[in-house]
Structure 1
């Protein structure tokens, strides 16, 4: 994924472990500029009768144009206002479900997908959803090259979609792409007539700005909710779309969803405690969630789904270019303390894939703390332990990353390794990572999953084509791994894919390509009156408001 795109996804995750005070300070300037922090004022903005769901978050979307969806909140808003060609189940691990495409067939060569659209799908303005709208949406997505478009780089072009008839679409792929169906929930469909009627001057020829400016204050979707109001940086109000083609659950579904944006942490805790907010986002500190959980009216979801945490080691600079030094660091880390004191409730990672991910295996080298083995590895290296100097760079303000660095420092001191813990802004780490020599020797990263396929993690993080991005923070280059990753994404044969991904996991573990620390806990707080929330592990599809009901 391009750094400027994935940076948005990751930036939201980094906020999760900021301290409550730090997060409040970080966003207080924005809140003051865009909206009130007075909980009574905010409460008056939403219906207190129980028909509203109020979602309180410390962040705000940079855009609500679905073709620009770059982070989790933008994904949540996009699939609330728009329908994708497919969807994700509310279960974990998630399964791909029909969306605007009620079913699909794939050609024998794996390069042509024929999608049959829902017969009764309507846009919010009453227009039927047609194959021509899908053709326009694919063209718009791939010409704009924003948001989720990275998923189809080299796979789709602006001309890949063809309308066979009113409700049948043919998608022609440039090459076989095994995860293709898993990415279809991100191909949102917009109303062609509405968008083209509201295009202004822009960079896309006859289409001008492709309606992007208009779509910041309006929607052209067919999703379960329609846009009532967007006050940039302050709130988004969405109304239930009564003619939605999908199935609403039995019970008291929400007539309106109100997203309160860029809230101070103290304001969120107050609104949740007073019942003026129904749900929080997932970016608060562990202490804040624990505080909220002490309220008998509030539940906190603490599930381990897909949130792997790695510490990259730059394999192309001294002394981490030596596999024995990397293995020594892997053996010396106290994983038990990391899991009990730093990542409370997390699951230890065996290798580069979370255990619930398809094709994951535990039949690979696994590192646990063994100081004697660490010393033996150092003795086998080309470096004198007394001459080894390593710097770990964490994101400024993130206490979890800092605390892990301090733990690592205490673990590595007995090995006589000079281990420095340093902080830097995330933007600096991203910039430095664009060059092998300037990239930090070691730095941590949470990786969020946008589609339920190993390709979402392994290709972006370990293929050499991504060496000059922070995704491949270890600057790892291995021809065999490249070949296996390419093979796995360009075949539909399940056995071939499993064998390829198993080999990749084995090689990465044997090479100690990174410290595979843990699969972290994902946390959200919600009022007990809210029913239907489950964490499916897909970034941007965690909150599916159309599946929630409220207890009477």
Structure 2
């Protein structure tokens, strides 16, 4: 079957004052200034796992596929002009645009796509590739000519297009990868809508319009600047009209403060995000190697009460399991109510928790919780500590600027963690929970989970796949390897004269700024 590109737009549900500017109002020119709390920890998209890296790097790079702007989760091409899938679903043949250039003036060909994906699948020594497992079904990448790239799969994978559409899969110059050891970890050079201009750590990041960009008339902006600020400074700067946008989730109080100061000069977009906080247990060490203890701690948590309280002050406030609430394959509220911590009879659940702790010989338990110094993480840690007190468990919260260092070393008991993905597809989102995943800090072994993951990944029948997905989710929740700590409800803010951006569940979508424009800036 043959796929051609279709571009459509759909309005994301708005919040507060949101009057969208329509596409025909688009103007050329202007510099868009927005803010971020952190510099990118790496310049290498392939190694990155955080939003800050994607936010800074996406304007400078192209990807093979992407999600249709304003119509997630429909997939379209970025470098791809069209593609074909073989009848056995094992061969994907892409035709790429023949007019693409890198920012150094060299042509982008299929060889660059091949080199980039082979780097993700089989990273060189010293390069971390956190999404490697998503692409291991790719047996080979072939380039019959400069505008054709063929992915040959070893096994059927219904989620492969979502994996190929990841905004982290930047296409690099094969020539520079071979010749320059600083590329891409310390050098930014791609084929995206903006050329990298300047980075001053702790201050700003700048890009300018790429005049030879392969989509005519894009980008609309002359350039952009990302200002480095902490959260309170961002709110104050937006309130004073010093910045025009903020793409990470705003807490409800911060959004109200900006709206109060700016009125109809600001617009908000609100959508559930493909991002959630979790509490992860170190299941390799006693007493948390005992599933009775983990289950007891999960039963103590009143999920509905937590969502109600945290949702008033933080970005996390949606009750859900391991898949985004409202997603087609997510457990229904009735099914979720059967999982630890999600039932309606909270006191009965806590009584069962006390019984399990007594049975496990852990009646005077103290647990250390490791947390990042971030609003939703600290709020989650405090909430969990209070909930555990209800069953006689003491908790001590320790804050760290970089808790993943301790998590990777296994030097923790429990920690506030997160799962952030560019798609809802379980073949991507569930990688976090696999025992051998580099992003799974639970340190547990579970062959059943691995079997269920592989089974859902290979099943083409939608109903059958959904049942397997549900079994995987139930297994993680019943074993209490993780406790879900609510899904993010993303509120983003833009000045009212900014158009061309529509918020989607994945935070990373549309961070290239290609379609964004400023009214009246001719």
User: TM-score over 0.5 for the alignment?
Assistant: yes
Q: Which runs of 4+ in 1 moved over 6 A?
A: 145-148
Residues 155 and 256 (structure 1), Cα distance of their counterparts in 2 relative to 1, 3 Å cut: closer
- Cα distance in 2 for residues equivalent to 1:170 and 1:346: 41
Among candidates 165, 171, 176, match of residue 189 of structure 1: 171
Q: CA deviation at 1:57?
A: 1.7
Offset of 1:314 from its aligned partner? 4.1
Q: How does 1:110-189 map to 2 (within 5 A)?
A: 110-141=89-120, 142-144=122-124, 149-153=129-133, 155=135, 160-173=140-153, 175-185=155-165, 186-189=168-171
Equivalent position of 1:225 in the other structure: 194
* Alignment match of 2:500 (pick from 526, 532, 536): 532
Paired residue for 2:223? 256
Instruction: Supply the distance in 2 between the matched residues of 1:61 and 1:403 (Cα, whole angstroms).
Output: 24
Q: Post-superposition shift, 1:505? A: 1.8
| Inter-partner Cα distance in structure 2 for 1:289 and 1:56 | 15
Per the alignment, do residues 376 and 69 of structure 1 end up closer, same or farther by CA in structure 2, a change over 3 Å counting?
A: closer
SS in 2 for 1:258: strand
1:251-330 matches, cutoff 5 A = 253-260=220-227, 262-265=228-231, 267-282=233-248, 287-295=253-261, 296=263, 297-330=265-298
CA 309–455 in structure 1, closer or farther in 2 if over 3 Å, else same: same
**1:207 matches 2:173:** no
Contact 1:359 1:501 (8 Å CA) reproduced: yes
Q: For each residue in 1:188-231, what CA deviation from the matched residue of structure 2 results, as whole angstroms up to 9, or x when unmatched?
A: 223445x27xxxxxxxxx63516447x62x52x22222223344
Counterpart check, 1:379 vs 2:355 = yes
User: Which shows bigger deviation, 512-521 or 487-496?
Assistant: 487-496
Q: How many pairs are equivalent?
A: 480
Q: 1:210 to 1:116 in 2, by over 3 A?
A: farther
3-state SS of 1:457 partner = helix
- CA distance in 1 between counterparts of 2:200 and 2:381 reads 40
Q: CA deviation at 1:53?
A: 0.4
Picking from 83, 89, 93, the partner of 1:104 is 83
Q: CA deviation at 1:530?
A: 1.1
2:436 to 465, 485, 490: 465
2:390 counterpart of 1:422? no
Per the alignment, residue 11 of structure 2 pairs with none
The CA RMSD measured in Å over matched residues stands at: 3.5
Map 1:436-515 → 2, pairs under 5 A: 438-440=411-413, 442-461=414-433, 463-466=434-437, 471-473=440-442, 475-515=443-483
Say which is worse superposed, 230-239 or 521-530, in terms of deviation. Answer: 230-239
Quote the Cα distance in structure 1 between the aligned partners of 2:104 and 2:381. Answer: 53
Q: Structure 2: state its 5+ residue gaps.
A: 1-27
Out of 27, 43, 65, the residue aligned to residue 86 of structure 1 is 65
- Contact 2:370/2:403, CA 8 A, preserved across alignment: no
Residues 346 and 521, structure 1, Cα contact 8 Å, conserved in 2: yes
Residues 546 and 162 of structure 1: is their aligned pair in 2 closer, same or farther, counting only changes over 3 Å?
same
What is the CA–CA distance in structure 2 between the aligned matches of 1:151 and 1:470, rounded to whole Å? 10
Compute the displacement of 1:81 (Å): 1.4
The runs of 5 or more residues in structure 1 that have no matched partner are 1-48, 197-205
Describe the shift of the 1:451–1:412 C-alpha distance in structure 2 as closer, same or farther (beyond 3 A): closer
Q: CA deviation at 1:70?
A: 4.2
Per the TM alignment, residue 84 of structure 1 is displaced from its structure 2 partner at its CA by: 0.4
Distance 1:347 1:173, change over 3 A: same
1:54 to partner: Cα distance: 0.7
CA–CA distance in structure 2, aligned partners of residues 140 and 406 of structure 1: 41
What TM-score results when the alignment is normalised by the length of structure 1?
Answer: 0.76
- Flag the structure with higher helix content: 1
SS at 2:298's partner residue? helix
Judge conservation of contact 1:155–1:173 (CA < 8 Å) in 2.
Answer: no
Alignment of 1:2-151 (within 5 A): 51-91=30-70, 93-141=72-120, 142-144=122-124, 149-151=129-131
